Chain A
């Protein structure tokens, strides 16, 4: 029925004291403030003529009732069509005398208190999760044949092999940058060859493990949190429990083992690519040939530098898995919670990785490595 649109209108005839409602009183044609009577009109007795209303829906019916209430003496509707009367009755019946419940708003002090308590309870929840995970995983680790190695291999593929291109590229570029930035001041003293020392020490001890951890936290940790969080919402984790399979054992433990294996390997890969990036710059910009570079390397660094870097990797791996799985399992209720858990897992694991890295520096310094 191609009918033209008629906006809802109220025509006020002051002489006859009649308000005529006309047009389409349906949701899309209603506008704000339509049924607010003008100040001067509030005092008088009006009669309400609704015979010219063409379409009426529940929204229009509610506004009509509102208009009726606002006018003095609640004038009856004149010329009401029978099908409109039924609708008005329906709306009248279901109209809510009490206002909608308004959400509770907290003041600044209350918000601060809530936030503080939340941080505390979250830390507590994380410790609880760590305890649960450890008590669940340790006895299983003592019987390595019962572990789900197939799944571990799959996770290594996902977290390790598939991360190689992006990690390799980033490590290579980091090496390039370090060599550039460090090379220029060294060149002023004619100490170009010391680029090797600078590059290998920073790469092996700090940059490679840290870069690897950050990439893995962003790439893999986030997907762990999202996966487990979604499974929480769809009750898959509960289903696992009713089937007599521990969710931690099947979801978290293989991930932990996979990253414990993959991250040291990824770190070595980042070491190699980073040094290669530096070598290219040293060769092209600072006249340190590949042979010179490689000859200098054993003199520049102690083997301990390599191990200092590698030993951090499993610790970072444990941090990433623990944090992301914790946030995944903590998801409750809605899709929004999954998003939040993912963000939190990435931010917190990177934060904790850097804190751990600082702690390592202090410890290595104390023991003189």
Chain B
């Protein structure tokens, strides 16, 4: 790749008390790809994601987003990057006191200089792009099904036309049909909007269908980054164990 990576994590070390979660962790994400982060429980996938979306500052190591250093970010830099990065939290994290429409409008009201009517129209556009019916816009998060919450949260993550979208287990808790539809949606949006997508997932379907490369976390670092078809041929024991489980095997057979 001639272009510099859109996200660059270097020499990251994370430690909780005496437990070292990451040590000398490096990861590059290229512009316009879908990168999936996988690994067993407790390998620090969510911690890594939280550091990449600048919620937890790294103790040791360097984090670059969109070509800027965000290891010790200043407030105005943070505001700059927040307009360019969207996050879909695992539980959706929709604001329960607001309707879906208000949830999607909120970031635009905060960050753009457009009129309210235009913002509302844009919010409706996002909601429909995320695959929700227009009627869902007036509903509160508690009135939505699990799949609809994910879609509404995706609509909010896309509200500011971000360049990077982070997804934390986007298909967890969805039925296979809903999960497949969500994967397709992410693929389609990535193609059309030129998004870079970083996601944590355990869903083998998602890995095979909706990821360009897979970063495998083990031994406190990223042990391999490769397309999933290459990754499963890796001789590394952790990777073999992860992909030889019955569940993943079944998927491959299909």
Contacts and interface: CB of A to CB of B under 8 A. Distances in A.
Given A1-B67, A96-B124, A101 B129 contact: no
Contacts of B192: 86-87, 90
Contacts of B83: 27-28
B interface bracket (residues with beta carbon within 8 Å of A) = 35 or more
B249 interface: no
Q: Which of A30, A63, A96, A98 has the most CB of B within 10 A?
A: A96
Contacts of A59: 112, 114, 122, 161
B113 A32 contact: yes
Contacts of B120: 100
A87 B96 contact: no
Contact of B96 (A27, A103, A334): A334
A58 B129 contact: yes
Interface residues of A, number: 31
A103 B125 contact: no
A59 B123 CA distance: 9
Contacts of B72: none
A58 B161 contact: yes
A116 interface: no
Contacts of A103: 99, 138
A83 B96 CA distance: 37
A246 interface: no
Interface in A49-107: 57-59, 62-63, 83, 86-87, 90-91, 94-96, 98, 100-101, 103
B208 interface: no
Contacts of B96: 333-336
A237 interface: no
B137 A100 contact: yes
Interface in B166-213: 192-194
Nearest to A90: B192
B114 A62 contact: no
B254 interface: no
B113 A30 contact: yes
A302 B97 CA distance: 55
Given A100-B124, A101-B135, A32 B115 contact: yes
Contacts of B101: 100-101
B114 A32 contact: yes
Contacts of B112: 27-28, 30, 59
B140 interface: yes
B142 interface: yes
Given A57-B193, A90-B192, A101-B134, A334 B121 contact: no
B118 A96 contact: no
Contacts of B118: 32, 62-63
Nearest to A31: B113
B59 interface: no
Nearest to B141: A334
Nearest to A103: B138
Interface in B31-76: 67
A1 B3 CA distance: 10
A2 interface: yes
A94 B125 contact: yes
B111 interface: yes
Nearest to A233: B96
B81 interface: no
Contacts of A220: none
Contacts of B157: none
B108 interface: yes
B220 interface: no
B122 A62 contact: yes
A103 B192 CA distance: 32
A334 B128 contact: no
Interface of B: 67, 83, 96-97, 99, 101, 108, 111-115, 118, 120-126, 128-129, 134-135, 137-138, 140-142, 158, 160-161, 192-194
Given A27-B161, A96-B125, 20 more contacts: A26-B161, A27-B108, A27-B114, A31-B113, A58-B193, A59-B114, A59-B122, A62-B118, A62-B121, A62-B122, A83-B194, A90-B129, A90-B193, A94-B129, A100-B138, A101-B138, A103-B99, A333-B140, A333-B142, A334-B142
Interface of A: 1-2, 26-28, 30-33, 57-59, 62-63, 83, 86-87, 90-91, 94-96, 98, 100-101, 103, 332-336
5 contacts: A27-B111, A58-B122, A86-B192, A96-B124, A96-B134
In the A-B complex, the 9 residue pairs with the closest CB atoms: A334-B96, A57-B161, A101-B138, A336-B97, A94-B128, A32-B115, A333-B142, A96-B124, A94-B129
